[in-house]
A and B are shown apart, each in its own frame.
Chain A
Amino acid sequence: MAKKKLKEIAINQSWCKGCGICVAFCPKNVLELNDEGCSTAVRPEDCILCKLCEMRCPDLAIRVIEEEEEV
């Protein structure tokens, strides 16, 4: 089976209310709140695709988009 890798952490900033849940519970500290108080992926390369940010987001603002790793 092809290994999955991160394509993009898509954050709908107009839906994000900046509660910080995704930031606090990301096991790899991938996310931070920006100056506007919205979630942003600052270290996407560390993402392990656990998708906990996407699943916990109360605003349905986060999508962790995967793609197949090139061999």
Chain B
Amino acid sequence: MAVQEYIRDRFFPQMWCEGCGHGTILNSLLRAIEDLGISKSDIVMTSGIGCSARISGYVDFHSLHTMHGRALACATGVKMAKPELNVIVPMGDGDALAIGGNHFIHACRRNIDMTAIVMNNRIYGMTGGQYSPLSGVGTMATTAPYSSIDNAFDVVKLAEAAGATFVARTTTYHVAEAVTYLKKAIQHKGFSVVEIMSQCPTYYGRKNKKGSAVNMLEWFKEITGKLGSKELEDNPSLIARGIFVDEDKPEYCSEYNKIIERASKR
């Protein structure tokens, strides 16, 4: 099967801007699912609001396009009610970490078996280029016309500290890596977070003079380094790519099943 077998092709060409990295994330995700051979009816994709959230309309799975920031909360309901389903939750940076920040840390803490993908383009694209909690100090945005003074979250550290049991980071330039990490994340029993740095040439790129999509992918190559590489060792200011956490811990639905067993004996 080709990746195209997993999409609702009547909605293509997709609505994202020319060169938007979100399409590449969709591409990588479908490749991961194809490699794993998961049946389309066994997947529920839950998204929030924003450019990222439109991803759920393009996939031929059960798709739940929810409210801004609430994707993980809705997904928790889906997963707890039917744990046999494979729940995948792509979110934007504002979606996951601003309005949805509370749901994000608590989903990590529960270690509920689902895959959260943070499609990090460091900007609110749908509303026209406002700064997000991942923009970082110095970013130009329509709501930061003199540059942002807001510190950014480090998603990897945040997810790890909150209790996620699989945490990885890559970019839309490093597509082979993205497919590998997404596969591992989906297979991982527990809460997985994959941050994929994604280019928004339309707003982030334009406002911050990063050039075209191609220039931004070159930039991702320059500013990141693989965990364990000499490159990263020599230049610690690079953003690390790789798998940061991969551990076995009691998963929430399995633990709740034990509660059911205990309660049924009463």
Which residues does A use to contact B, with CB under 8 Å?
14-21, 24-25, 52, 55-61, 63
Partner of B18, one of A14, A18, A55: A18
**Which residues from B are CB-within-8-Å of A57?**
23-24, 27
Distance (whole angstroms) from the CB of A70 to the closest CB of chain B: 23
- Count B-side interface residues using an 8 Å CB cutoff: 31
Write the chain B residue with the least CB distance to A65. Answer: B2
Number of A-B contacts (CB under 8 A): 74
**Which residues from B are CB-within-8-Å of A55?**
24, 27-28, 31, 175-176, 179
Interchain CB contact under 8 A, A59 and B176: no
Known: A19-B18, A20-B212, A21-B213. A60 touches B175 (CB 8 A): no
Which of B4, B23, B213 has the largest count of A CB atoms less than 10 A from its CB? Answer: B23
Which residues does B use to contact A, with CB under 8 Å?
2-4, 7, 12-14, 16-24, 26-28, 30-31, 172-173, 175-176, 179, 201, 212-214, 217
Interchain CB contact under 8 A, A56 and B172: yes
Interchain CB contact under 8 A, A56 and B19: no
Question: Do most interface residues of chain B lie in helix, strand or loop, or is the interface mixed?
Answer: helix
26 contacts between A and B (CB under 8 A): A14-B13, A17-B13, A17-B17, A18-B18, A19-B19, A20-B213, A20-B214, A21-B24, A24-B214, A55-B24, A55-B31, A55-B176, A56-B175, A57-B27, A58-B16, A58-B19, A58-B20, A58-B23, A58-B24, A58-B26, A58-B172, A58-B213, A59-B14, A60-B4, A60-B14, A60-B23
